[in-house]
Amino acid sequence: MKEYPFIPYSKKTYSEAEMAVRSKDHFEYYNSRRTVREFSPKPITDKVIEHILLSASTAPSGAHKQLWTFCVITNANLKKQIREAAEKEEYDSYNGRMPADWLDDLAPLGTDWQKPFLEIAPALIIVFKRSYEFKGVIKKNNYYVSESVGIACGFLLEAVHYCGLVALTHTPSPMNFLCKLLNRPENEKPYLLIPIGYPLESTMVPDIKRKEIKDIAVFYK
């Protein structure tokens, strides 16, 4: 089996004092990120979206399979079809599929089955995961598929925030209608639907707080 050639690599490092400042700055920058459901219809250029996706594609993946496909939807008619199909699934979820405790957890956030942002946001990025590939007629499995694609989505959200845009992670369940609407191959399954764009000027978000370090980490020394 052919091996990858190895090349030199170096990484700029910083003093302990500089790292402390940079790590705090990075946290504060990230802590300003919010999930938004109210989008402006203002368009985003293709070049911006391309660079966001290229940033996402720098994520590590199992055996370097890069097992993701990013579908970008800006066509108004297709966005309308996606909204209609997603709202059908969401209506069923909010009216019978979701257990009571799930609905109770969602209630403070003010969400419901209606998803107008799927039409209003200038672009929808639908992330597909590929569990296997075909090399000719031979089926070859990919590895750590959900983990790899999840990391790529994290990179994508960071790139959206860095550009000054906002995003929403949306998971209508089930999402198989996306395979049919977008005519995706059988080895691809929808993982996440991410509307991106500018926030509406009057956008409001819940006044929620993130957990403190003592609630999310355990240090063993």
Structural domains present in the chain: 49-189 (3.40.109.10)
The number of beta carbons lying within 10 Å of the beta carbon of residue 119 is: 17
Q: How far apart are CA 99 and CA 96, in angstroms?
A: 7
* CA-based nearest residue to 37, from 193, 148, 214: 193
For residue 174, cis peptide bond before it (omega within 30 degrees of 0): yes
**Cβ-proximal residues to 14 (8 Å cutoff; 6+ apart), any chain:** 22
Strands 68-73 and 123-130, by their bridges, are antiparallel
pLDDT band at 1 (very low <50, low <70, confident <90, very high): low
**Which amino acid type is present at position 209?**
K
**Cβ-proximal residues to 141 (8 Å cutoff; 6+ apart), any chain:** 131, 132
Return the structure tokens found at 162. 């860095």
Q: How far apart are CA 157 and CA 125, in angstroms?
A: 11
Average pLDDT score, the chain: 94
Q: For 13-26, give the DSSP string.
A: ---HHHHHHHHHHH
* Per-residue model confidence as pLDDT tens digits over 64-95: 999 999 999 999 999 999 999 999 999 998 99
* Per-residue model confidence as pLDDT tens digits over 134-166: 888 889 999 999 999 999 999 999 999 999 999
